[in-house]
Amino acid sequence: MTDRLSRRGVFGVGLGAAAVLAGAAPAAARAATGGGLTLRWWGNNSWEIRMPSADGTATKTVLIDPWLTRFRTGTYSPEGADPKTRLTVDTGLIDRYVDSGELRADHILVTHGHYDHLTDVPYLARKTGATVYGTETHLNLMAALGAPEDQLAVASGGEFLTFDGYTIRILRSLHSASGARAAVPFPGTRPGFGLGHLPKPKYIQDLVEGGTLAYHVTSAWGGSVIDFGGSNYVESELEGLRPDVVLLPAGGGKIADYVGRLLRVLGQPPYVVPTHWDDFDHPLTEPARDWGGLAALRSAVAAASPASRFVVVDHLETFTP
């Protein structure tokens, strides 16, 4: 089954279903918060997850790989990205979203260190005061880019953390493999230097993969979502998890039965939402432009898990399961 949401302004979609997931949650709190969780797509693998606090009086927000700047790289052009493309952060753009209250964060979760996942995180951390999770390499890179060191928390995979109204399970994962050699782009790690001891990264090639993590976020009021920053995973890490929503990256052509193995081990999830399928050389304020992986992903999900709803969310749209 395939669904496509209309452009923008759909924050209330699916609130009835979310209320059912909330179960015994007080009706007044469900009415105030929507119950469960709501997802908003900020392009690429940038996701905002909003959930009620434990007592239902506030909204808690988790960001995954937030990257709003979207500087031009040519990543999806025939020539590919120039490794010497300079890193830039559009602080004015980020300020407008954060200062208006449209974007906020209690936690920021980094799946890996590449430019289209990590570049904006240090500035967003300073603006929001959020705690940031990532590997030792990710933290070293972010500290070198000016992230407040007291907001950085190291993760290795295996952590299961409880917060006000939600839990975060951090999973060991793998990055996408591409090209004839099925290799990880910009590989490498930056361990052992200590926070703030790396030279400031200047180019996209300076932001190495640095290990890859996946994240399973569960609302205490009902509903859970799992996100993979690249089109690969560690199957054994996922045994027993039953997320309501899988944020599934397009691609995976070099990974054996990429979609089928994943959806089977996760128990044929109710919703599959594609991620990392837009060409980020184009603005976030325009409709997403498929770089070429969406149709194949849709077909693979239909074949592997016919009962799962394949829900395509456009830039800045929201989805409530």
Comparing C-alpha atoms, which of 89, 96, 53 is closest to residue 69? 89
Q: Say how many C-beta atoms besides its own lie within 10 A of residue 213's C-beta.
A: 26
Least confident range from 3-17, 52-66, 176-190, 228-242: namely 3-17
How far is residue 153 CA from its own chain's centroid?
A: 17
Identify the top-confidence range among 17-31, 112-126, 165-179. 112-126
Position 287: which residue type? P
Residue with the two structure tokens 């060991």: 172
End-to-end CA distance of the chain: 14
What's the pLDDT band for 179 if we cut at 50, 70, 90? Answer: confident
Q: To the nearest whole percent, how much of the chain has pLDDT over 70?
A: 89
Cα–Cα distance between 140 and 199 in angstroms, integer?
10
Residue 251's SS3 state is: coil
Cα–Cα distance between 118 and 86 in angstroms, integer?
14
Comparing C-alpha atoms, which of 261, 212, 211, 217 is closest to residue 239? 261
Comparing C-alpha atoms, which of 246, 232, 252, 233 is closest to residue 292? 252
Residue 21 region by backbone torsions, left for phi larger than 0, else alpha for psi between -120 and 50, else beta:
alpha
Q: Which two tokens stand for residue 42?
A: 């900020």
DSSP string computed for 296-310: HHHHHHHHH-TTSEE
- pTM for this prediction: 0.89
Q: Say how many C-beta atoms besides its own lie within 10 A of residue 272's C-beta.
A: 29
* Residue 265 predicted with pLDDT over 80: yes
Supply the pLDDT for residue 194: 84
Q: To the nearest whole percent, how much of the chain has pLDDT over 90?
A: 84
Which letter, b or e, does each residue of 69-89 get, where b requires 16 or more Cβ atoms within 10 Å of its Cβ?
bbbebebbeeeebeeebebeb
Residue with the two structure tokens 């799962």: 308
Q: Do residues 281 and 237 lie in contact, with contact meaning Cβ atoms separated by under 8 Å?
A: no
pLDDT in tens, 193-209: 788 889 999 999 999 99
Supply the pLDDT for residue 193: 79
Supply the pLDDT for residue 180: 75
pLDDT in tens, 91-117: 999 999 999 999 999 999 999 999 999
Domains and CATH numbers, the chain: 2-319 (3.60.15.10)
Comparing C-alpha atoms, which of 110, 193, 196, 70 is closest to residue 145? 196
For 15-33, the three-class secondary structure string (H helix, E strand, C coil) is HHHHHHHHCCCCHHHHHHH
Comparing C-alpha atoms, which of 91, 25, 17 is closest to residue 54? 25
Supply the pLDDT for residue 131: 98
Comparing C-alpha atoms, which of 214, 305, 308, 311 is closest to residue 264? 305
